[in-house]
Chain A
């Protein structure tokens, strides 16, 4: 497998990094407009935008880590500025994913009962405001990495302690501490791997069932009943996103230049888009004896294929890349 990246990682990061800030601002604007105009369709669009932003924020973080791995050895590169940016970005990533999760629950619910719960929409709105604020800060700190002229005075933590001794500044960073823990602990990595495998079984099994329904198996079951299973798939996926990020933050060097990892991220995005389609599309709900249209069958096949490629690329990480 050769790498997907025509652009180098730093360039790709510069292209993608506007999504969590500008995209989130658009999603938030849609939700606020929907609240003012009391327009249900606008609410759905706003929630869907939040879900898509949560998806795309994954490659933003990944390409950022790749850019850091490539640039950190440069002579005029500020390691501290980059680490400060990374820590804020990691927090922003977590809040963005949570906002996307809440948005998804609201979308799932609105598909079932016709409208999204007001509490969920309010929670998604508040979370996206917080995510936007943190990502704005991350963007500022990111810009300062290569633009020392805009760097605020006194933001960098002191390298020298109060008594003049040298302090290991990396200790102060969350990402560095997660990494140290994942690498040094005897059980953290194996435990996370185990949860990762259990999560993949749950997600894959549930999505296999739902997609088989679209392909004509279990024809007598209403699609609405299969739709009820979707949160179980997201439960498995959530476990895998968390454990996957622990691996990535733990040992970014294993992944950033690994072609199977690049493919895995790309097909995760495709699988995520499929997941959104399964959540919100209307046609399957029309009647109980529903015969899937060609487009739905194509969606089902591409969903299963995308997850198989994600699984294959993930399993190949130790062989085609250098992960353990």
Chain B
């Protein structure tokens, strides 16, 4: 009786940490707080890693419960695609942040594009995930 609510709550908490921390860094790359050195944001990657691991485990558990219907459902496949796309933006962003110096940094156009892609992809992933509950029985 407690398993399902607990797994769902952990999945939501993981989402908040993962998506929230990503967005904070994305906002920085887009110019919010530009006088803060990028090196101060290294904690974001640890938070994202923790969120991803928690949500991978809880996500697999949630999928197991609904495998027969979700396995072929378009909203679920779309969500997976968005999650993979979102996670894929993190790697180049990480490389960019780790290679930047300690002072206030100019952000390259490519990094800005990655930040926009990250915000959009996470928004799409959360939207698809939330709508999954309504679109797929």
> Residues of A with Cβ closer than 8 Å to B?
189-190, 193-194, 197-198, 200-206, 208-209, 212, 217-218, 220-221, 225, 228-229, 232, 308, 311-312, 315-316, 318-320
Among A202, A217, A315, the residue within 8 A (CB) of B20 is A202
**Measured CA separation A154–B34 after assembly (Å):** 61
Among B5, B43, B126, the residue within 8 A (CB) of A315 is B5
Asked if A205 and B5 sit within 8 Å, CB to CB, the answer is: no
Residues from chain B with Cβ under 8 Å of A229 in the complex: 24, 27, 32-33
Using known A-B contacts A194-B126, A197-B126, A316-B5, determine if residue A205 contacts B12 with beta carbons closer than 8 Å: no
The answer to whether the Cβ of B22 comes within 8 Å of any Cβ in the partner chain is yes
The answer to whether the Cβ of B66 comes within 8 Å of any Cβ in the partner chain is no
Query: CB-CB contacts of B121-134 with A at 8 A, as 1s and 0s?
Result: 01100110111011
Asked if B43 and A218 sit within 8 Å, CB to CB, the answer is: yes
How many residues on chain B are close to A (CB under 8 Å)?
A: 34
Residues from chain B with Cβ under 8 Å of A320 in the complex: 5
Asked if B131 and A205 sit within 8 Å, CB to CB, the answer is: no
Residues from chain B with Cβ under 8 Å of A204 in the complex: 16-17, 20
**Measured CA separation A204–B51 after assembly (Å):** 13
Main secondary structure on B side of the interface with A: helix
**Measured CA separation A201–B21 after assembly (Å):** 8
The answer to whether the Cβ of B13 comes within 8 Å of any Cβ in the partner chain is yes
A170 CB, nearest partner CB in chain B, Å: 27
Query: CB-CB contacts of B1-42 with A at 8 A, as 1s and 0s?
Result: 000110011001101110111111001000011011100110
> Residues of B with Cβ closer than 8 Å to A?
4-5, 8-9, 12-13, 15-17, 19-24, 27, 32-33, 35-37, 40-41, 43, 47, 122-123, 126-127, 129-131, 133-134
Using known A-B contacts A190-B131, A204-B16, determine if residue A228 contacts B32 with beta carbons closer than 8 Å: yes
Q: Which 9 pairs across A and B sit closest by C-beta, in order of nearness?
A: A205-B20, A204-B16, A201-B19, A319-B5, A315-B9, A190-B134, A194-B130, A221-B40, A218-B40
Among A209, A221, A232, A315, the residue within 8 A (CB) of B12 is A315
Using known A-B contacts A200-B16, A220-B40, A225-B33, determine if residue A319 contacts B131 with beta carbons closer than 8 Å: no
A291 CB, nearest partner CB in chain B, Å: 16
Other than the given A190-B131, A201-B15, A229-B32, 4 more pairs (CB < 8 A) read: A190-B133, A201-B16, A201-B122, A312-B9
A258 CB, nearest partner CB in chain B, Å: 13
Asked if B21 and A198 sit within 8 Å, CB to CB, the answer is: no
**11 A-B contacts (beta carbon < 8 Å):** A197-B12, A201-B16, A205-B20, A205-B23, A206-B20, A206-B24, A208-B17, A208-B24, A315-B9, A316-B5, A319-B4
**Measured CA separation A218–B17 after assembly (Å):** 17
Residues from chain A with Cβ under 8 Å of B5 in the complex: 315-316, 318-320
**Measured CA separation A217–B19 after assembly (Å):** 19
A195 CB, nearest partner CB in chain B, Å: 9
Using known A-B contacts A190-B131, A204-B16, A208-B20, determine if residue A198 contacts B4 with beta carbons closer than 8 Å: no
Among B4, B33, B129, the residue within 8 A (CB) of A228 is B33
**Measured CA separation A221–B32 after assembly (Å):** 14
In chain A, what residue has the closest Cβ to B12?
A315
Asked if B20 and A201 sit within 8 Å, CB to CB, the answer is: yes
In chain B, what residue has the closest Cβ to A319?
B5
Using known A-B contacts A194-B130, A205-B24, A229-B33, determine if residue A311 contacts B13 with beta carbons closer than 8 Å: yes
